[in-house]
Structure 1
Amino acid sequence: MLGVFFLVTGAWVMGRWIADGGLRLRIEGLSELSASRQAALWVAQGVVALTVVVAVVWAVRQCRRERRLTFDAALCLGYMSQFWLDPLIGFRHRTWLYDAAMVHTSSWGPYIPGWTSPHQDQQVEPLFFGWSGYFSGVAWIFLIGIVMKRIIRRLWPRLRGARFALTVLGVAVLIDLPIELFYIYSGAFSISGGWPPLTLFSGHWYQLPLNYVAFIGIFWAGLPYLVRHYHIENGPDTTILRGIQRVPEHRRTLVQTLAVIGFLNLCVVAFCLCFWLSGLAGGEAPAGSLPYPFR
């Protein structure tokens, strides 16, 4: 089962990294930034932290109310389990740079089999982006739900099937665009590669490849939303949980959770693969134009 594979592999990668002393929090270069840029970084990290806290409280309350591990709680665990895959976005070449002025650790990328990104000793993983930032993906699902329920369904109440799915993916991409712009302008990260015809502000440190926005919207939010939607509308025996009714009742919660974990981790792999392949056509952002200690 994919869920078991990703959990075991992630534990193996992170265990080796921790054993070699990788779990050390640090901040580098923050004092060299202006007060406004320092504030922007702390606000960005605070937004992620607040989102995580709200998601955890909501999931715990839901589980306590229903006296079981709910599907939404399984989604939370699935998003939480994704973090170890973060270095895959730079699997072969660096298209993503994090700001070392944020709270961070060293990257565990070198402990992932086959990972050959350049400048391995300089890469970092921010606590509120590369780590807990993945957990905040739950919020994207509920933002999509709000737009679909309060706007799209009111305008097109008979929207069904493939058109519904394509609309969801489009909404996911549109929601992600301003969020990515906010985090980029805050100085949290810089995307160093992008195909100019599909990149906003191409050539600047704050450039935003639209193919990245499309991939993150589809794989990280859109597809998980569709799985949750069909689970609610059609019952548990749908999409990734098809056939779960044949599983003994006392094992269904475990099987459901592992299926969700496997699916969400696979979504990250698909996103990284698509972004990596599309990055082959892009170039590097000018090194001299980086105002933050990006690594």
Structure 2
Amino acid sequence: MGLRRSAIVRWAAFGLACLVFQAVVFARWIIAGDAHAHSSGGYTIPHAMKIATHIGQATAGLLFLALAAGLWWECRAQGRVTLKTAVFTGFCFSFWSNPYVSQFHYAAANNRYDLNVATWGPYLPGWRGDIPAIESFLMEIAYPVMLVWIFIALAVARLLALHRPHWSPRRTLAATTLVMLVCEPILTGAYQRLGGFAYPRALPGSLTLFEGQWYQLPINSTLSVVGFFIVPVLAMALHAGEGREVHLFRGSPQLPRRARPWGRLLAGVGLMNACTLGFQITMALASLISHPIDLPSWWDRPTS
């Protein structure tokens, strides 16, 4: 296979295109003067929730820095950009598409007490969501922090491989996926309780955990997180095997030495943007068959 047709070049090219695209979107947003915090007020929030939000902000921020530092040292120790580092970098440059979740309905609620800015949604092609709207710190940093979910999945897979060495990668993947379908609501639920975000719409047919509560969790969220973010990375890691390059990086040895780290990082950006867009589209489509619930005012959209 030629270099131009290799997986790393294709994913890196898509990643570069995503970076250029979001640079244009954010530049237009900034030039128009919309890159500012939304006016505060117009809502009430319990004191306990204020404290939880501050704890959530501090925890997410420190976790982000810890992940970045740990991955930096991992790359230096191995002398290359690792899969986890590429995925983390991709997460850091994929939050731009978050407004698409609320393409048809207000489907992902930002915490108005959290650090926030007016949404850049109007500058995204085809976006037709309601305004005014905001994008909050805890909502956007949730993407790179979600690497913890992937760490847990990889740890579960290693345990299964240790105790079930005769299992095939496909069987280990299936078993780990089932475990993560149980773990994911717990992890996301904890993040929600710390003021991370809320789902203002519930699925019909009792397919929403804690339905009617602001911390409710539609099952499509869990299925989408596991299906779009965890399974692709886990599948690559399991099928690569010991000493082999994962699919995402196939062809990297053919790149010039100085270009390899950038190629691997850009490939990670491409992969996670594709995964994130798949997640956003799925959640937006699910909002078409869901119904709204009453939310506390700090989760409602701003009205002016």
TM-score normalised according to structure 1 size: 0.87
Compared CA separation, residues 251 and 96, structure 1 to 2 (3 A): same
Aligned to 1:211: 220
Residues 1:160 and 2:172 are matched in the alignment: no
Counterpart CA distance in 2 for 1:270 and 1:256 is 21
CA contact (8 A) 1:141 1:225 kept: yes
Tell me by how many angstroms 1:6 deviates: 0.8
Q: Secondary structure at the match of 2:135?
A: strand
**2:252 equivalent in structure 1:** 244
- 1:212-243 Cα offsets, whole Å, 9 max, x none, are 1110122122322333444563522x423334
Match of 1:133 among 127, 131, 142: 142
**The 10-residue stretch of structure 1 (192-201 or 96-105) with the greater mean CA deviation from structure 2:** 192-201
Deviation at 1:88? 1.6
Pairing of 1:65-104 with structure 2 (within 5 A) = 65-104=77-116
Match of 2:19 among 7, 15, 30: 7
Asked if residue 145 in structure 1 is aligned to residue 154 in structure 2, the reply is: yes
Distance 1:291-1:26 versus aligned 2 partners, 3 A rule? closer
| Partner Cα separation in structure 1 for residue 42 and residue 75 of structure 2 | 40
Partner of 2:183: 175
Q: Which residue of 1 aligns with 2:266?
A: 258
Shift of 1:12: 0.9
CA contact (8 A) 2:25 2:124 kept: yes
Alignment partners' CA distance in 2, 1:247 and 1:178:
42
- Structure 1's 159 and 246: CA in aligned 2 closer, same or farther, altered over 3 A? same
Task: Work out the CA distance in 2 between the residues paired with 1:245 and 1:205.
Answer: 49
Instruction: Give the equivalent residue in structure 1 for 2:33.
Output: 21
2: CA distance between counterparts of 1:32 and 1:195?
27
Q: Which residue is 2:244 aligned to?
A: 235
In structure 1, how many angstroms separate the alpha carbons of the residues matched to 2:284 and 2:44?
A: 32
Query: What whole-Å deviation, never above 9, does each CA across 1:75-95 have from its counterpart, x for those lacking one?
Result: 221111111111121123221
Q: Which residue of 1 aligns with 2:196?
A: 188
In percent, how many aligned pairs have the same letter? 24
Corresponding residue to 1:64 among 70, 76, 94 = 76
Structure 1 gap ranges (5+): none
Distance 2:65 2:54 in 1: 16
Q: TM-score, normalised by structure 2?
A: 0.85
Cα pair 1:45 1:128 within 8 Å, conserved: yes
Query: Displacement of 1:9 after TM fit?
Result: 0.7
Structure 1 residues 186, 257: closer, same or farther in 2, change over 3 A? closer
Q: How does 1:112-131 map to 2 (within 5 A)?
A: 112-118=124-130, 120-121=131-132, 123-130=133-140
Q: Aligned in 2, Cα 1:280/1:124: closer, same or farther, shift over 3 Å? A: same
Which one is further off, 67-76 or 214-223?
Answer: 67-76
Contact 1:59 1:73 in 2 (8 A): yes
In structure 2, what is the Cα distance between the partners aligned to 1:228 and 1:22?
41
Could you report, residue by residue, the CA deviation over 1:174-229 in whole angstroms, capped at 9, with x for unpaired residues? 22211221233334322122313211122332221011111012212232233344
Aligned to 2:293: 285
Give the secondary structure class of the aligned counterpart of 2:96.
helix
SS at match of 2:33: coil
**What is the Cα deviation at residue 23 of structure 1?**
2.8
C-alpha distance 75-29 of structure 1, shift in aligned 2 (>3 A): same
Counterpart amino acid of residue 282 in structure 1: S
Residue 294 of structure 1 aligns to which amino acid in structure 2? D
Question: CA 1:194 to 1:177, structure 2 compared with 1: closer, same or farther past 3 Å?
Answer: same
User: Number of aligned pairs?
Assistant: 288
8 A Cα contact 1:48 1:129, kept in partner = no
Provide the C-alpha distance between the structure 1 equivalents of 2:105 and 2:251, rounded to a whole number of angstroms.
40
